[in-house]
Structure 1
Amino acid sequence: MKTKEKIARKIKNMQRYVDFLREQPADEKELVKNYLLKSAIERNLQLAIESALDIGEVMISSENLEKPEDYRSIIITLGKEGIIPGEFARRFSEAAKLRNILVHMYTEVDPAMISQILANNLDDFDEYARYIARYLDKV
């Protein structure tokens, strides 16, 4: 499978997870009382982040860039190489920290934090996808 096709498939998957998240209530109290909803939101958020990281890894590999040592470095590397803007990379790289919390500290995920992300940060995934698509259009 060609790189552009692989990335397009991963962007489509990422968007599906984000679309699901956009449909959910962002109310912290609802997340506290509804375990099933909170779990579904956490899982789709984790999958959206992992999709973004997978896209970054494919980009890094296809451009023969130095392999990052951790998840956060994937996004930072894309910024350093001009694939995405540096300031956006610094902000969006925080998603890697959230991924680690969702995966490794799942019993300690703060509903207030999840609520805040649903209300304020889902557009970052769209912005990321646009930067990746623009870069691929140029190469």
Structure 2
Amino acid sequence: MNWPLGLPGLLRISSISTTDISRRWRLLDKERVLAKIDELEGYLKELEQVKPAGLEDYKKIEKKRSCERLLQLLIECSIDICALLVTGLRLGLPGEEDDLFDRLEEAGIISPLMKETLRKMKAFRNILVPEYRRIDDQLVYEILQNRLDDFEAFKHEILKATRNRN
């Protein structure tokens, strides 16, 4: 199971010197980034506690709503971390959220695979948020069962990048 794809965004690439990035790490408010990572971990733990054992359990309205909301919060927290890094490292002004992921990949902070995963997460969040859209229970359940490790992988890539630049 993979994250569902939304509309493909336009790729905006600018050249960023890795030497410039190295100097900018000391300007980054690492405490804010770490606080957001703690928030991400909290949402993951909470989701693990309410994660349903089966699809029928997931379809119970209280389970459904809590799981959907926690997935939304996890994705938004991940995007917030990306925004903190792009802003703090002065990687440019992103025109849209997808630009955050491009800039972090260009700077060597996240892998190309993680960039694509974040784009797919964001597209899924855009399906979750509007209440007027019908959400496929099977799709959300499969994400709960198979894609939560993506948040751990994201956290590890960010922590590795911050540790390597201290």
Cα distance 1:76–1:121, how it changes in 2: closer, same or farther (>3 A)?
farther
- CA RMSD in angstroms, aligned pairs only: 1.7
User: Aligned AA for 1:68?
Assistant: P
User: Aligned AA for 1:79?
Assistant: E
Which gives a bigger RCO, structure 1 or 2 (Cα 8 Å, sep 6+)?
A: 2
Unaligned runs of 5+ in 1: none
Alpha-carbon distance in structure 2 between the residues aligned to 1:84 and 1:73? 13
Number of the residue aligned with 1:11: 37
* Aligned ranges 1:15-30 → 2 under 5 Å: 15-23=41-49, 24-25=51-52, 27-30=54-57
Cα distance 1:106–1:52, how it changes in 2: closer, same or farther (>3 A)?
farther
**Preserved CA contact (<8 Å) 1:76 1:90:** no
Q: Rg larger in 1 or in 2?
A: 2
Runs of 4+ in 1 over 6 A off after TM superposition: none
SS at match of 2:129: helix
Cα distance 1:74–1:104, how it changes in 2: closer, same or farther (>3 A)?
farther
Alpha-carbon distance in structure 2 between the residues aligned to 1:16 and 1:106? 28
Q: Which structure dedicates a bigger proportion of its chain to helix? A: 1
Unaligned runs of 5+ in 2: 1-27
Q: Which moved more, 1:9-18 or 1:78-87?
A: 78-87
Matched, 1:75 2:101: yes
Identity of aligned residues (%): 28
Cα distance 1:94–1:39, how it changes in 2: closer, same or farther (>3 A)?
same
User: Aligned AA for 1:29?
Assistant: E
Matched, 1:116 2:142: yes
CA deviation string 1:79-118 (max 9, x = no partner): 2221111122112321001111111256412111111111
Matched, 1:48 2:83: no
**Preserved CA contact (<8 Å) 1:26 1:116:** no
CA deviation string 1:101-136 (max 9, x = no partner): 111256412111111111111011111111111111
Matched, 1:63 2:89: yes
